[in-house]
Structure 1
């Protein structure tokens, strides 16, 4: 029972946080020249219960995230963020963003330098505090490139937005090599509660070779795999295995979002091609489609080409029902990584602006070679964020 204590504490906090306003929490420290500093945090406690169907999927309850950071901002001029996930021992965004309009008087976009997410699709760029589902869909898990150190530029206009950048390895010292990325979206509708967003994106990664302990240069390798959309499971039902002698990796994405009042639809198609020296290219792809309905009448928030949590209108918070279908195919040529498709239904309760409770039921169907699994999982999450 002691392992459920974090969930109980977050539950007890619900009544107090339900009435908390965004401008009162978290506390802000006013500095000279209109600059302000504030602490940031995102803490999520999860419970997973599996009908494992012969797999090694075990019931568990634990922290999913323990993110803590600092934000410094001068409105209209710059902002700096730095955060660390103590649960996974991983740096999150650590970046400085400058707004050209505040510096030059003309809106020529926003520049950012540091570690950040690459502009590839929706789910991969959605903040961890704002996920409608507890875990990303299968193709996002497998193909999204993650955070890298680099420089990017974003320009937004009423009917379109463009984001591009160049990147190297990350702050963990992993993912050695260089990447370029770009995202372009058309937004013919971009009003509160009325959004239509259609986009395309792509990245090109050239990983670096490594030198082993014997001083021998080893060509880069890559591995494509995905969890069964279960938050605490380390098991992957689909897995390409390690692909060696990689020359470059091309990723492509198509995305769409429609929001009409309390209703929304969101979908993506992601595909990667791994180019290898002297070996056949390997291709994998996947897609998902998700729908959302806010019973209490609020609307999902859209800004800067991405979505965020709805802001509850009443004291009892906002209630959301969701459904998602996702699919991934990692079979190509001699590589039999498997295929998987998942159905997920869920419910979210947004208690004020800083506390969220989530429940997901996932039914997976995965085949790899002669193996066939159909596990089911019920997941619960309590999430405090500020």
Structure 2
């Protein structure tokens, strides 16, 4: 085909502003490369667009791109100062000191969205080894009959080193309403015992939990638990070995413990929507033929032991006799929390009836002298007020749950801080009867009431939820305490324990112990 008409005109080059022609020897200009295309998106973030590592929701974390596996890096450090005052205290071994109360390395994580795990290793508290210098390293050389002259002793006041697992558990979460946990964890008995030491109001838990209800805090076993929306109902039920933290099962028996609470106003938006009412129950059994460890001693917040489970009896020159848990161990508890604006009022009541037996030192596994009971109650009332900052920034007491990373929930731009002041009243009223079930009490027994009252005041400064500075004052009272003790009072103040002739007024009439303590804590 032949084109008809005039040929199309060629475009004219501009007469001005055109770049000069490039020299013949000029280097070629680089051509920008297209953006890389990855099969699963940018490898620097997860397939969900969130970072693979960082800090979010109070956690340092690392995860894989598909978010099947998450690792949490955590730690806990509590540096404490203890100071003691009161009648006769200067003549005892209660000296002002600083200790490393807790030093933990903690790891945790999530697997496939439904499994959570954690392990915590603690290397504290700092303490003396062979503090009194009475621990023998050898009774006598081989082939020699032991005498007072042949005994050698371990070095005095050396450093006691320890490292042990504290929490170690795996949890399966089917939904909020149903979880199953197995391992070593806090016994579900009282709200205080289910509150982390990172967020409790005072430096240690209250008397009803720490001294009376769950002195061992943790046990080994399994637990089913869950809650409804807004925790209008929370429930937990555990079957555990019943022998305490890191201790294997001694007698093929078990303990069961359960806790339930409700927030009846949580579905609304009123000032009392977090009002909480709850109850706990536990029941355990110890076989007299196999359980031989001591009943738990009782102490103050800063570690003074006002009742110990042993005494010297009247047989011969005196044998050391131990109080041992034996038979049924039963406990019930009630809890109440009333938060209002910046105020918080909490209370718990615990009643126990634990069966016991007594065994002579060295023969606890072989013989029983008598069978008795330890029973009574303890309670506390705690009031707090947040002077500054965000109230309750550390979470809700007794609401301890599994650690989960929620990347879709935004973090605050600036970590909140706060100042909290607190007052607490505690009371313990227990009764020990060494031969309540069978046998005859020794004439030098420690039967009778164990009574203790305490008033505490505290101030907490929270520089975010991760750093805390705390000062506590506690007035411990032991009504009618004396050096000899009586059925009306078996608890002893420090002054009651000093030797005769040093300060006899304090020895016979001391009934108080003042404790001033402080803590700097870091926790992630």
Please indicate the TM-score interval, normalised by the length of the shorter structure: 0.7 to 0.9
| Partner SS state of residue 305, structure 2 | coil
Provide closer, same or farther for how the CA distance between residues 245 and 95 of structure 1 changes in structure 2, counting only shifts above 3 A: closer
In structure 1, what is the Cα distance between the partners aligned to 2:432 and 2:463?
45
In structure 2, what is the Cα distance between the partners aligned to 1:255 and 1:121?
7
2:173 is the alignment partner of 1:99: yes
In structure 2, what is the Cα distance between the partners aligned to 1:331 and 1:54?
26
Bigger shift: residues 71-80 or 284-293: 71-80
Is the Cα contact below 8 Å between 1:69 and 1:81 reproduced in 2? yes
2:271 is the alignment partner of 1:203: no
2:231 is the alignment partner of 1:138: no
CA deviations on 1:97-146 (whole Å, 9 max, x unpaired) are 11113xxxxx5411111111111001111111111101122222222142
* Aligned-pair CA distance for 1:190: 3.5
Is the Cα contact below 8 Å between 1:161 and 1:305 reproduced in 2? no
Provide closer, same or farther for how the CA distance between residues 170 and 279 of structure 1 changes in structure 2, counting only shifts above 3 A: closer
Is the Cα contact below 8 Å between 2:186 and 2:218 reproduced in 1? yes
In structure 2, what is the Cα distance between the partners aligned to 1:299 and 1:190?
18
In structure 1, what is the Cα distance between the partners aligned to 2:413 and 2:292?
51
Bigger shift: residues 311-320 or 90-99: 311-320
Q: Which residues of structure 2 form unaligned runs of 5+?
A: 1-53, 126-162, 311-321, 358-369, 402-410, 435-446, 487-495, 497-509
1:47 counterpart (78, 81, 95): 81
* Alignment match, 1:257: 337
Provide closer, same or farther for how the CA distance between residues 48 and 219 of structure 1 changes in structure 2, counting only shifts above 3 A: closer
CA deviations on 1:297-321 (whole Å, 9 max, x unpaired) are 523255595279xx99977820000
* Aligned-pair CA distance for 1:281: 3.0
2:514 counterpart (365, 376, 382): 376
* Aligned-pair CA distance for 1:173: 2.4
The 5 A counterparts of 1:211-250 are 217=289, 220=292, 222-230=294-302, 233=303, 235-239=304-308, 241=310, 242-244=322-324, 246-250=326-330
2:254 is the alignment partner of 1:161: no
Using structure 1 for the length normalisation, give the TM-score.
Answer: 0.81
In structure 1, what is the Cα distance between the partners aligned to 2:195 and 2:416?
25
* Alignment match, 2:430: 330
Using structure 2 for the length normalisation, give the TM-score.
Answer: 0.61
1:27 counterpart (54, 60, 74): 60
* Aligned-pair CA distance for 1:170: 5.2
* Aligned-pair CA distance for 1:279: 3.3
Provide closer, same or farther for how the CA distance between residues 350 and 297 of structure 1 changes in structure 2, counting only shifts above 3 A: closer
| Partner SS state of residue 349, structure 1 | strand
Is the Cα contact below 8 Å between 1:125 and 1:306 reproduced in 2? yes
| Partner SS state of residue 124, structure 1 | helix
Provide closer, same or farther for how the CA distance between residues 239 and 138 of structure 1 changes in structure 2, counting only shifts above 3 A: farther
Is the Cα contact below 8 Å between 1:50 and 1:59 reproduced in 2? yes
More strand by proportion, 1 or 2? Answer: 1
In structure 2, what is the Cα distance between the partners aligned to 1:219 and 1:294?
46
Provide closer, same or farther for how the CA distance between residues 312 and 180 of structure 1 changes in structure 2, counting only shifts above 3 A: same
1:306 counterpart (399, 415, 423): 399
**CA RMSD of the aligned region, Å?**
2.9
Larger radius of gyration: 2
In structure 2, what is the Cα distance between the partners aligned to 1:165 and 1:128?
21
Is the Cα contact below 8 Å between 1:238 and 1:337 reproduced in 2? no
In structure 2, what is the Cα distance between the partners aligned to 1:275 and 1:304?
31
Provide closer, same or farther for how the CA distance between residues 151 and 189 of structure 1 changes in structure 2, counting only shifts above 3 A: same
Is the Cα contact below 8 Å between 2:286 and 2:325 reproduced in 1? no
* Alignment match, 1:150: 221
Provide closer, same or farther for how the CA distance between residues 23 and 179 of structure 1 changes in structure 2, counting only shifts above 3 A: same
* Aligned-pair CA distance for 1:356: 0.4
| Partner SS state of residue 128, structure 1 | coil
Is the Cα contact below 8 Å between 1:207 and 1:220 reproduced in 2? no
Provide closer, same or farther for how the CA distance between residues 356 and 283 of structure 1 changes in structure 2, counting only shifts above 3 A: same
In structure 2, what is the Cα distance between the partners aligned to 1:240 and 1:68?
33
CA deviations on 1:70-122 (whole Å, 9 max, x unpaired) are 01125852211110111143322111111113xxxxx5411111111111001
Provide closer, same or farther for how the CA distance between residues 219 and 148 of structure 1 changes in structure 2, counting only shifts above 3 A: closer
Is the Cα contact below 8 Å between 1:130 and 1:307 reproduced in 2? no
In structure 2, what is the Cα distance between the partners aligned to 1:356 and 1:272?
34
Is the Cα contact below 8 Å between 1:323 and 1:345 reproduced in 2? yes
In structure 1, what is the Cα distance between the partners aligned to 2:117 and 2:290?
37
2:256 is the alignment partner of 1:180: yes
